Amino acid sequence: MSPEKDDGLSLWLVPPENSEIHDLLADAITRTVPSVLAAKREDPLPQFEPHVTLASQIPKASITSDPQTWLDEIDLPITSAVDVDFQELAVGDTFTKKLFIRCRRPESLLSLASACREFSAVKFGEAEYDPHVSLV
Protein backbone atom coordinates (compact mmCIF):
# COMPACT_ATOMS: atom_id res chain seq x y z
CA MET A 1 0.00 0.00 0.00
CA SER A 2 1.31 3.45 -0.85
CA PRO A 3 1.67 6.32 1.55
CA GLU A 4 -1.54 8.25 2.17
CA LYS A 5 -2.33 11.14 -0.15
CA ASP A 6 -5.18 13.65 -0.20
CA ASP A 7 -6.97 11.54 -2.81
CA GLY A 8 -6.76 8.29 -0.81
CA LEU A 9 -4.49 5.27 -0.73
CA SER A 10 -3.11 3.22 -3.58
CA LEU A 11 -2.18 -0.43 -4.04
CA TRP A 12 1.13 -0.89 -5.83
CA LEU A 13 2.83 -3.83 -7.50
CA VAL A 14 6.50 -3.38 -6.55
CA PRO A 15 9.42 -5.33 -8.00
CA PRO A 16 11.40 -7.38 -5.45
CA GLU A 17 13.95 -5.31 -3.55
CA ASN A 18 17.52 -5.77 -4.76
CA SER A 19 16.31 -7.24 -8.06
CA GLU A 20 17.92 -5.90 -11.20
CA ILE A 21 14.71 -4.19 -12.38
CA HIS A 22 14.06 -2.63 -8.96
CA ASP A 23 17.60 -1.25 -8.81
CA LEU A 24 17.43 0.05 -12.39
CA LEU A 25 14.07 1.79 -11.89
CA ALA A 26 15.03 3.16 -8.46
CA ASP A 27 18.21 4.63 -9.94
CA ALA A 28 16.20 6.27 -12.75
CA ILE A 29 13.72 7.73 -10.23
CA THR A 30 16.27 8.94 -7.67
CA ARG A 31 19.31 9.88 -9.79
CA THR A 32 19.05 9.77 -13.56
CA VAL A 33 15.80 11.67 -14.17
CA PRO A 34 16.40 14.25 -11.40
CA SER A 35 19.91 14.98 -12.72
CA VAL A 36 18.49 15.68 -16.19
CA LEU A 37 15.59 17.79 -14.91
CA ALA A 38 17.37 19.55 -12.02
CA ALA A 39 18.34 22.63 -14.02
CA LYS A 40 14.74 23.07 -15.20
CA ARG A 41 13.05 22.84 -11.77
CA GLU A 42 13.19 24.88 -8.59
CA ASP A 43 11.41 22.36 -6.35
CA PRO A 44 12.79 18.86 -5.66
CA LEU A 45 11.26 15.90 -7.45
CA PRO A 46 9.23 13.47 -5.33
CA GLN A 47 10.97 10.27 -4.23
CA PHE A 48 9.01 7.00 -4.33
CA GLU A 49 9.40 3.27 -4.71
CA PRO A 50 9.29 1.89 -8.30
CA HIS A 51 5.79 0.50 -8.86
CA VAL A 52 2.81 -0.17 -11.09
CA THR A 53 -0.39 1.16 -9.51
CA LEU A 54 -3.09 -1.51 -9.26
CA ALA A 55 -5.79 0.60 -7.58
CA SER A 56 -5.87 4.19 -6.37
CA GLN A 57 -8.11 6.63 -4.55
CA ILE A 58 -8.97 4.03 -1.92
CA PRO A 59 -10.62 5.82 1.02
CA LYS A 60 -8.61 5.24 4.21
CA ALA A 61 -11.91 4.66 6.04
CA SER A 62 -12.55 1.56 3.88
CA ILE A 63 -9.66 -0.23 5.62
CA THR A 64 -11.49 -1.54 8.65
CA SER A 65 -8.72 -3.81 9.96
CA ASP A 66 -4.96 -3.50 10.12
CA PRO A 67 -3.50 -2.99 6.62
CA GLN A 68 -1.93 -6.46 6.31
CA THR A 69 -5.16 -8.22 7.32
CA TRP A 70 -7.04 -6.06 4.83
CA LEU A 71 -4.57 -6.98 2.06
CA ASP A 72 -4.77 -10.67 2.96
CA GLU A 73 -8.54 -10.55 2.39
CA ILE A 74 -8.19 -9.67 -1.30
CA ASP A 75 -9.31 -12.58 -3.48
CA LEU A 76 -6.29 -12.63 -5.79
CA PRO A 77 -6.35 -14.50 -9.09
CA ILE A 78 -4.46 -17.77 -9.11
CA THR A 79 -1.39 -17.27 -11.27
CA SER A 80 2.25 -18.23 -11.12
CA ALA A 81 3.43 -14.80 -12.24
CA VAL A 82 2.25 -11.33 -13.12
CA ASP A 83 3.70 -10.10 -16.38
CA VAL A 84 4.91 -6.50 -16.48
CA ASP A 85 6.22 -5.74 -19.95
CA PHE A 86 7.46 -2.26 -20.77
CA GLN A 87 6.04 -0.76 -23.93
CA GLU A 88 7.24 2.83 -24.32
CA LEU A 89 8.58 5.91 -22.58
CA ALA A 90 5.86 8.56 -22.49
CA VAL A 91 5.19 12.09 -21.24
CA GLY A 92 1.89 13.22 -19.72
CA ASP A 93 0.40 16.25 -18.06
CA THR A 94 -1.07 14.79 -14.86
CA PHE A 95 0.77 14.76 -11.53
CA THR A 96 1.13 10.97 -11.49
CA LYS A 97 2.10 10.67 -15.15
CA LYS A 98 4.67 13.34 -16.02
CA LEU A 99 7.39 11.00 -17.32
CA PHE A 100 6.57 7.30 -17.27
CA ILE A 101 7.05 3.93 -18.87
CA ARG A 102 3.77 2.62 -20.27
CA CYS A 103 3.28 -1.12 -19.79
CA ARG A 104 1.50 -3.63 -21.95
CA ARG A 105 -1.81 -4.98 -20.64
CA PRO A 106 -1.38 -8.77 -20.30
CA GLU A 107 -4.23 -10.73 -18.74
CA SER A 108 -2.21 -11.52 -15.60
CA LEU A 109 -1.74 -7.81 -14.79
CA LEU A 110 -5.30 -6.86 -15.76
CA SER A 111 -6.85 -9.57 -13.59
CA LEU A 112 -4.68 -8.63 -10.58
CA ALA A 113 -5.58 -4.93 -10.93
CA SER A 114 -9.24 -5.80 -11.40
CA ALA A 115 -9.31 -7.95 -8.23
CA CYS A 116 -7.65 -5.17 -6.23
CA ARG A 117 -10.02 -2.50 -7.56
CA GLU A 118 -13.08 -4.71 -6.99
CA PHE A 119 -12.06 -5.51 -3.41
CA SER A 120 -11.30 -1.88 -2.57
CA ALA A 121 -14.51 -0.66 -4.29
CA VAL A 122 -12.57 1.54 -6.70
CA LYS A 123 -14.81 2.13 -9.69
CA PHE A 124 -13.36 2.51 -13.15
CA GLY A 125 -13.48 0.40 -16.25
CA GLU A 126 -10.80 -1.88 -17.60
CA ALA A 127 -10.43 0.41 -20.62
CA GLU A 128 -9.45 3.25 -18.26
CA TYR A 129 -6.65 1.24 -16.61
CA ASP A 130 -3.32 2.43 -18.00
CA PRO A 131 -0.57 0.43 -16.28
CA HIS A 132 2.68 2.37 -16.08
CA VAL A 133 5.82 2.97 -14.03
CA SER A 134 6.23 6.63 -13.13
CA LEU A 135 9.73 8.07 -13.27
CA VAL A 136 8.75 11.54 -12.01
- pLDDT tens for the 136 residues of the chain, in order: 555 445 688 999 999 999 999 999 999 999 888 887 766 667 777 789 999 999 888 888 888 778 899 999 999 998 778 989 999 999 988 877 889 999 999 999 999 999 998 888 776 666 688 999 999 8
The pair phi, psi for residue 130, each rounded to 5°, is -120, 85
pLDDT at 21: 96
The model's pTM is 0.83
Q: Count CB atoms within 10 A of the CB of residue 134.
A: 21
- Annotate 56-125 with DSSP letters as a single string: EEE-GGG--S-HHHHHHTS-PPP-S-----EEEEEEEEETTEEEEEEE---HHHHHHHHHHHHHTT----
Q: Can you tell me whether residue 20 is helix, strand or coil?
A: helix
DSSP state of 7: T
Angle, CA 27 vertex, CA 26 and CA 33 arms, to 5°: 105
pLDDT at 2: 53
Q: Which domains are present in the chain?
A: 9-134 (3.90.1140.10)
